[in-house]
Every structure is written in structure tokens, then in C-alpha cells.
Amino acid sequence: MHAIEVEGVTAGYPQVRALEDVSFAIDDGDLLGIIGPNGAGKSTLFDILLGLNTDYEGTVRFFGSDIRGSRDHLRRTGYVPQDPGFESNFPATVRDVVSMGLRGKDRGRVDEMLKRLWIHELGLRRIGELSVGQQQRVMMAKALVGEPRILVLDEPAAGADVQSSELFYSILRGLNGDGITIVWSSHDLDAVSRLSNRVACLNRTLFFHGEADSFFSDESLVRQYSEATMQAHMREHADA
């Protein structure tokens, strides 16, 4: 049985079709990197996986059951958004936010996760005072105290410096080593090639999905991807 199965998913917004006939599947324990330029549909796909967007054609299954049928899978799915977006005066500390992820009463897990993510010294700080990268680590700790089977991360470490992204990546590797299935999106091709065993290349349609090694060893695929990214980048700047 697949951990996640996405079958013929098409979705969009009134003015744009963001995803077109996207299909792929991953196994329990996989670490899937989703790469694609800005506007490729990565966050739209994540919204669907997380049950935040139910307006799509096609089918998504988690461990064999259609996620339209029940929201149970969400209790075992952790999510780290692209920008957690806490206002600077948001009235909660780091510790408060992480505790919200607890399902049982095991408060010891909060300390354990604060340490694991290197934010134990920030426990009493207000979440809104932290950088986006630090807020993402808080969201990751919150997700992990709920003991997820699947962790979904939307461009973690995108704005972080090299040191904190390396820290983030080593944490991801450790969690995957503990058996958590991970789906993450990133612009960092090098990090995706080092961390992920599977890769999905998205640009509205899926133009590659498979073993990371077969993607990164295929120069013409990598070149196609880089050209598509460059074009998207130039379009964005032409619009601005």
C-alpha cells in the first residue's frame, strides 16, 4: 500500500489552472522532494494534501483511503507552511504554539522537540518576534509532538542562511531515518539531490517523477528543469 497516491489531480483558481492531471505515488518511508519554479502549483498541491482545498478533480489517497472520505488522516499528518505568518504581536509563546500540537498529555515531548529543533532557548519568546525560518522550526516542532506518519513541508529554509538550512536538512534526514514519510518542496536543487530518494518536478503538469538518482544523473532532464525555472523567473520579472 502506498503512503500517498495522487491520481489525475486537476485544480485551480478562477483565473488559473494551477495543476493539470498530476499523478504520482510514494511509499511509506520515502523522502520526496518537489521541485518547480514559482507558480508551478506546489503550494496548491500541498493545500489539497492537507484537506485545505477540496475543490479538485481526481483522487488523493493516504494509506489507501480517499482523503475526501474522512479527515482522520490529517491527525497523522504534520504541516510546515511556507510562511507561518504570525503577526509580531501574536499573543502566544513558542512553547504555547508547540503545545497546541500535543494530542495526549505528554508535555515532556514538547521539551524534547524544542531541543531537537534547536529552539529550546526560544521557548518563552513570542512567536511573532521570530524570523520566518525560526517560525518554521516552531511549526515543525508543533507538527512533531503530534507524532505524524507523514510530514509535509512547503519550502522550509527558503529564506534561511546556509547554516540554518544545513541544520534544517540534517533534522529532516534524522526524522526520515526514524521512519517518517516526508514530502517537501524546495528551490534548492542541490539540497533536494542530497536528501531525497524521490523527486517530483512540477510545472503545472508533472514532468518527472521517480528515483532522485535517475533524475539527477540525467543531464537533459536537469537542463530542461533549469530552463523552465529560468523562463518562469524571467516572466515574473517581466510582469513586475
* Measured distance CA(157)–CA(165) in Å, rounded: 5
Q: Give one DSSP letter per residue of 82-121, joined into a string.
A: S-----TT-S-BHHHHHHTT-SSS-THHHHHHHHHTT-GG
Pairing of strands 31-35, 198-203: parallel
Q: Which stretch binds Mg ion (CB under 5 A): 35-43, 86-94, 96-104, 187-195?
A: 35-43
Measured from each CB, the residue nearest to Mg ion is 43
Q: Is 167 exposed, middle or buried (0-12, 13-18, 19+ CB in 10 A)?
A: middle
> The C-alpha cell of 113 is what?
522537540
Pick the closer one to ligand ADP by CB: 15 or 163. 15
Of 3, 6, 9, 18, the one binding ligand ADP (CB under 6 A) is: 18
How far is residue 48's CA from residue 4's CA, in Å, rounded to a whole number? 12
Picked from ligand ADP, Mg ion, none, the partner binding residue 39 (CB below 5 to 8 A depending on kind) is ligand ADP
- The b/e string for 80-115 (b: 16+ C-beta within 10 A; e otherwise) is bbbebebeeebeebbbbbbbebbeeeeeebbeebbe
Q: Which is nearer to Mg ion, 127 or 153 (CB)?
A: 153
In the list 43, 77, 134, 165, the residue contacting Mg ion (rule: CB under 5 A) is: 43
State the nearest-atom distance from the C-beta of 44 to Mg ion, in Å. Answer: 8
What is the contact mask toward ligand ADP in residues 33 to 72, using x (rule: CB under 6 A)?
---x-xxxxxxx----------------------------
Q: How far apart are CA 163 and CA 130, in angstroms?
A: 17
Which one of Mg ion, ligand ADP, none interacts with residue 16, CB within 5 to 8 A by kind? Answer: ligand ADP
Q: Does 229 bind ligand ADP (CB under 6 A)?
A: no
Task: Select from 1, 8, 13, 214 the one that contacts ligand ADP (CB under 6 A).
Answer: 13
| Residue 11 or 119 having the CB closest to ligand ADP | 11
CB of 203 to ligand ADP, least distance (A): 9
Q: 36 is in the binding site of which of ligand ADP, Mg ion, none (Cβ under 5 to 8 A by kind)?
A: ligand ADP
Q: Are 108 and 89 in contact (CB under 8 A)?
A: no
Q: Answer with the entry of ligand ADP, Mg ion, none that 38 interacts with (C-beta below 5 to 8 A by kind).
A: ligand ADP
Name the CA radius of gyration of the chain, rounded.
18
Q: How far is the CB of 36 from ligand ADP (least distance, A)?
A: 5
Q: What are phi and psi of 197, to 5 degrees?
A: -90, -20
Tell me if 21 sits within 8 A of 10, measured CB to CB.
Answer: yes
Interacting residues toward ligand ADP by CB under 6 A? 13, 16, 18, 36, 38-44
